[in-house]
Chain A
Amino acid sequence: MSGLDFLTTRLETALGWGRKYSLFHYPFITACCGMEYMSAACAHFDIDRFGAGLTRFSPRQADLLLVVGTISHKLAPVLKTVYEQMLEPKWVIAFGACTVSGGIYQNYAAVQGIDKIIPVDIYIPGCPPRPEMVLDGLLKLQEKIQKQPQDWRWKKKT
């Protein structure tokens, strides 16, 4: 026998590996952080290098929800509906200070952090965050996906 003739792995590990490098993302962009999203998504910083390059413009085809920009109370039910339309498994990134905590908009109109509406996996602070930080957040999400227990269809639900 010479070289690498066989590989062993666990199903969970293989699933995690597959999932973390094939994130289809849905950009929910409402404000100026969108510029940083564009920068991170396009050729300069290029999230495609990390397997998250395929943008889907329907939440039903996406498994990563990027919430980019201020969410007002008026918009909150829309964001919740978009989240509920996504299929499992799904993850959420809160992109920028407004989505993390309301940011500078500490007023009657803005939601003080989107985690009051939907569960959030990764928080990326900054006003707006540098694309490097977005990539760092993406890598942290991939780490999280790899480590978490994988939900598969034919697994018996307990």
Chain B
Amino acid sequence: MEKENLIDEIRQRFSAELESDTETFGDQVLVVRREGLRAVMAGLKGLPFDYAVLLDLTCVDFLESESRFEMVYHLYSLSRNRRLRLKVSLPGANPVVDSFAGLWKNADWLEREVFDMFGVAFAGHPDLRRILMYEGFEGHPLRKSYPWRKEQPRIPLRD
């Protein structure tokens, strides 16, 4: 009962920003417009929704699709014990999305990982640089366009 109310509330409040909402595996999935993502995230973190935990943040590369990248956010509300999945599409040419490191601290490193692996830029990120790969690495390895068996250049020894 409460679950339905919560979703209805979200639907009402963010009707302008939502493209669609569905349910998969018992969890609600919201597809959000890129422009409205910041407002939706900030609204969901505050009361009455109280999505205090950012469980995960990742990216999917749909190489053939026009809107090539899709960011996926998993939120969890401790007080209401509800999970929520948000998706937002990004263009392939210059994928930029707002950083949420200010809202959830753990977004800092998660966004750095997505930047490292997919080359998605995060506007407003405090320290956007590679996290797993090293300086001098060419390309973004989890992009579907990353060449199979690509040879990386040799790097010099660092202190």
Contacts and interface: CB of A to CB of B under 8 A. Distances in A.
Given A73-B134, A73-B152, A74-B134, A108 B141 contact: yes
A81 B158 CA distance: 11
Interface in B129-159: 133-134, 137, 139, 141, 146, 149-152, 154-158
B150 A77 contact: no
Interface string B76-99: 000000000000000000000000
B154 A117 contact: yes
Nearest to B135: A74
A77 B156 contact: yes
A35 interface: no
Interface residues of B, number: 15
B118 to A, nearest CB: 13
B103 to A, nearest CB: 31
Secondary structure dominating the interface of B? loop
Interface centre among A73, A77, A78, A80 (most CB of B within 10 A): A73
Contacts of B156: 77
A78 B154 CA distance: 11
Q: How large is the interface on A (under 10, 10 to 19, 20 to 34, 35 or more residues)?
A: 10 to 19
A117 B154 CA distance: 9
A76 B141 contact: no
B157 A108 contact: no
B157 A77 contact: yes
A108 B152 contact: yes
B149 A73 contact: no
A30 interface: no
Nearest to B132: A109
10 contacts: A73-B137, A74-B133, A74-B134, A74-B155, A76-B155, A80-B157, A108-B141, A108-B146, A108-B152, A112-B149
Which 6 A-B pairs give the minimum distances between C-beta atoms? A77-B157, A108-B141, A73-B152, A74-B134, A81-B157, A77-B155
Interface of A: 73-74, 76-78, 80-81, 106-109, 112, 117
Interface of B: 133-134, 137, 139, 141, 146, 149-152, 154-158
